[in-house]
Structure formats: structure tokens, C-alpha cells
Structure 1
Amino acid sequence: MIASFALAATSLGLWASESSAAAAVPTPDHVVVVVFENHAYGQVIGTSSAPYINSLVAGGADLTSSYAETHPSQPNYYALFSGDTQDVTDDSCVTPGFSDEANLASELIAAGKTWASYNESLPGEGSTVCKSGKYAQKHNPWFGFGNVPTNTAHTMSAFPTDYTKLPTVSFVVPNLCSDMHDCSVRTGDTWLKNNLKGYADWAKTHNSLLLITFDEDNRLSGNRIPTVLYGQPVKAGVTSGTTYNHYDVLRTLEDMYGTTHAGQAANAKDITGIWNS
């Protein structure tokens, strides 16, 4: 009898622990992740060069100790998307579908959720081209995975104006100018306002989330990058000094929808302390 009671109590404790962990993050109806390029936290947050991003900080959450994984750009995109750099060490174009490792898209699809990417200057729907004008494959890690359908990779013009038609999770990747790589912080900030303000405003009242982050810093700030979250699930004006990285962001997105964990996300932690419930 005592042993049975102890076993039941232990099971209850495990259930409570798992339930608590699951409740640590919200489950938004939609998440849109936007990735910018090569700027440190102090080059964007609190500056006059990024008035729109800073307005999102004021109405959302600012992760003040958010870090990228490495240099240069491309391995960080793979880390954010799949919990692993997939042995990518530079910005060279990859062979499309070279990996079948788990990633955010494959996990969402397996869990019955929906996924898409919206890629500015992509020359055509599902195109796996290496480069085209201001478009660069190195910022679009989904093309490296054979278990992510290429028809989920869209041009930016396909981003819906009816936001209810968005997939569960989507990534938006600006081109080499709009992402602040070749052009200024203000250029990228203006692009974000012009292309995502409608969604951000809508997300504030429709249980949805906008997450803005950067692939890496300018190599001068210990790889500390801006990461901002905005939408109805987020407390307005909150800051978190907890140290987070790309793996933690991936883990948080996975836990929002109860998927498995890809790569190093299995050892990562959820973003907490910024949510309304």
C-alpha cells in the first residue's frame, strides 16, 4: 500500500512537472520569425536608426542577453532552424536537400501543424538557386533539408494579407539589402515596418507572435544580438536579462506546439518570464 502510494505520488509529481513545463510557453495561433543580419544589440536597440523595431520593444519583450552561435552567417541559420550547424562552416551554397536531420519544419509537419518560408527576392516559388540578384540561399536553411518540401518556400509576394491564412509557423527572410547586410539599419527597419507592421498589429489582438532576431553580430560584441518578441501572448514593455541563444529560440518554438526537439534544442531552455500567462 505504501509502495503504491509512493508510486502514485511520484507519477503525479512527474505529471505536474511535465504539465508545468508545457505551460511555460504559450501556444500562439501563428508565429512569424524575421531574421536580420550582422548587427550587434547596441547597433539596433535603443538607437534612432531603428524606430520601428524599438516601438516593438516598447510594446513587447526585449531579450537583452540574446546570443548567436558562431560566425559567419550561414551556420547560425542552420542552428536556429535545426539545432545544429549541420557541419556548415562558411557561407558557400549548399547542395539542396543534403541533410535529412530533424528541423523545425519537419517537426511541425509531423505534428500536424503547418510551415512556410517567405523569401524576399527568391526568383520563383520553391527555387533552390544559389544566388539571384539580392537573394542568397545561405540565409534560407530549409533548402538544405530533404525532409522540407520545396513548395513551402515562397516569394515574399506570397505573404498573405489575410493573416488567418498564415501557416502555424513561418520564417520571413529579407534580401541582402533589406536584412541590413548590405544596407543600413534604417533600411531594414523601414522594410520591416512596410512589410510586417500589418501582421504585428493584428498579432496583438489575435493570439499571434512576431519574433525578430539576427543571425550574428558585427563580430565586435561577443555575438550579442537583438531579439524582440511582440504580440498578444507577450507582456508589453518587458525585458529579460536571461542568457538565450538560437537553440533556446528553437526549443521555445518547438515547445509551443509540442513537437520533438531537433539537435541541441533538446538541451536548450524555453524563453520564459515574458508571457502574459
Structure 2
Amino acid sequence: MIASSRTRTRSAVRLLAYALGLAAAAAAPWTGAAGTEHRAGHGPTPDHVVVVVMENHAYDQIIGSPNAPYINSLGSRGAVLTSSYAIAHPSQPNYFALFSGATQGITDDSCYIPGFSSAANLASELTAVGKTWASYSESLPSQGSTTCDSGRYTRTHNPWFGFGNVPRSSAKTFAQFPTVYARLPTVSFVIPNLCSDMHDCPVSTGDTWLETHLGAYAAWAKTHNSLLAVTFDEDDKHSKNKIATVLYGQPVAAGSRSATRYDHDDVLRTIEDMYGTSHAGHAATASDITGVWAS
């Protein structure tokens, strides 16, 4: 049985490991069997999962805020993780953690060298079990572009370019996000640009962007065994890194709440266990999200 919570001591040790950049094990060359053997989870197996990562706002700045009516409507009709936490500061290490269970030695927001790591990650794990993956980044100049910055686009929010075992062609522009949602890959990440993700623009701007661009997918997911997950990279640096994470779709019990402490490793672990992959980095010792799934 996978534990549903961890002691404060364990959480502190893991956070310290991140801060010190102790990702050596996860950074070892991946042979297709990195991480621990799969332990069956107790969550659903959605046909599609779309993860949207927003920026730099604390839980209380989003949940219950009149400036985020759409996100709150998703939460009221889906699930809210009321004790959801990021891993580190600043932004970039959190993206690497969410994607690979480790910060891969990244400690700042500098533009990294493409393909510097061969560690296991969500994309490589999904591919190994016959599932599909893609990212969709707003303002990315072109599919597979490794440019550091372009207008309101930044590669620091796109960790998949850091892995040599993830095809660059899987990094798509947001304009390529399918309008026929059944054509979506098994798992995809959506990365809004620096305005739409609330980094440079108000919460209301990002909330409206979500409704405008992903509201139709959310409605479709509700009746097509699919999942929308909206989370944040980190807080505003004033709330102990507590962030908003909202889950919505047919597999989610409407109006559910979980007060169990979860972080980016747990989100990664949950997606891995949905599809029976191995576990990357710290996801090997993380927990599945429970208590919010429909029967």
C-alpha cells in the first residue's frame, strides 16, 4: 500500500536534498529501467492528461480569489489539493522536478544547455511503455526551437529540452494544440507565455487565458475520461511555497478536497502510476494523490 502522507522529517530531508542539488542518481544515463520497479497505484487511467503550469503565485492568491473565477470554478466542480507545495525557488528547478523528479543540478533561472541530461523523465518513461507525450508552449518560435528567449517565451519553463532522450520535435507551439482533443497525446504539458501564466500580468489575465484556451478541453475531459491539472511552479516567496493545484475531468470526484501534503514529486508519481511507468528521481519515494477520484 502506498502511503498517503509523509512525516515532516521526510519532507524536510527531501527539500534539503533539492537545495543541495543532490540529483546524481537521477542524472545517471537512462537505460529504460531507471527508478524503482512499478508499484501499482490506486488512481484512474485517463485517456488523456493535460498539465498546465502557471507562475509565481501562492495558494491564497488563487483559491478563493475573485481574480481567478475560472480556476475556482474548476476547483468547485473538480478537486482542490489544499496542501500543495512546490519544491524550491526560483522557478526553473520546479519545472525540472515536476518533469523528472529531480532538479538535475539546476539552481537558478539561467538558460541551460540543451540535452545536458540523459536522466529518466516523464516523456522517456511514457515512451518506454508505448504511451505518447508532447508539450505545447505559447510563443515558442517554432516546433523544437531551443532558443532561450523570444518575446514572452522562455526556455526556463521548458525542461524537456534539457534531456537528450526527449525528441525535440515533441516540443510544439501552442498553436499546434489539437482542436480535436481525441488526437492529444496520452500526457501533455501546456506552458503559457510570461503574461498568460501570471508571471508578468495579473492573475485575472491568466485566469481568462485558461478559460479561453482550455475551457473547451476541460468541458470535453468531463465526459471523455480525461484530466486537466492546473498547478503553479512556485509561490510568491512569502507563503512557504504553498501553491494552488486543481484537478478537473471525468476521473475526478466533483467538489472533492484533499488536505494531504503533496508536492511536484507526488504529481509526477501520480501520472507515472496512471500508466504503469518506472519512477524518475524522487518520484520513486513519493505518493500517489488519493481521495479525489471518482468511483
| Normalised-by-shorter TM-score class | over 0.9
Q: Which segments of structure 1 move beyond 4 Å, counting only runs of 4 or more?
A: none
Q: Secondary structure at the match of 1:64?
A: strand
TM-score of the pair, normalised by structure 2? 0.87
Q: Which protein has the bigger helix share? A: 1
Letter paired with 1:163: Y
What is the DSSP-based 3-state SS (H/G/I as helix, E as strand, rest coil) of the residue aligned with 1:126? coil
Distance in 2 separating the partners of 1:60 and 1:22 = 24
Distance 2:153 2:294 in 1: 37
Partner of 1:8: none
1:114 aligns with 2:132: yes
Is 1:26–2:20 an aligned residue pair?
no
Question: In percent, how many aligned pairs have the same letter?
Answer: 70
C-alpha distance in 2 between matches for 1:47 and 1:89: 31
How many residues align? The count is: 259
Structure 2: distance between partners of 1:92 and 1:22 = 37
1:111-190 aligned within 5 A: 111-190=129-208
Deviations 1:39-87 (A, max 9, x none): 0000000010000000000110000000000100000000000000000
* Secondary structure of 1:229 counterpart: strand
| Equivalent residues of 2:149, 2:155 under 8 A apart | yes
Q: Distance in 2 between matches of 1:175 and 1:108?
A: 26
Do residues 78 (structure 1) and 96 (structure 2) align?
yes
Q: Which residue identity lines up with residue 167 of structure 1 in the other structure?
A: P
Which residue of structure 2 aligns with residue 54 of structure 1?
72
Q: Is the 8 A contact 2:41 2:288 kept in 1?
A: no
Q: CA deviation at 1:23?
A: 5.1
Q: Which amino acid aligns with 1:189?
A: D
How many Å separate the matches in 2 of 1:109 and 1:138? 23
**Counterpart AA for 1:150:** R
**Cα offsets for 1:22-44 (capped at 9, x unmatched):** 35110000000000000000000
SS in 2 for 1:177: coil
Q: Distance in 2 between matches of 1:139 and 1:23?
A: 28
Partner of 2:106: 88
1:183-235 Cα offsets, whole Å, 9 max, x none, are: 01000000000100000000000000000000000000000000000000000
How far apart in 2 are the matches of 1:166 and 1:130?
26
CA distance in 1, matches of 2:77, 2:158: 29
Distance 2:40 2:251 in 1: 15
- 1:32 aligned counterpart, secondary structure: strand
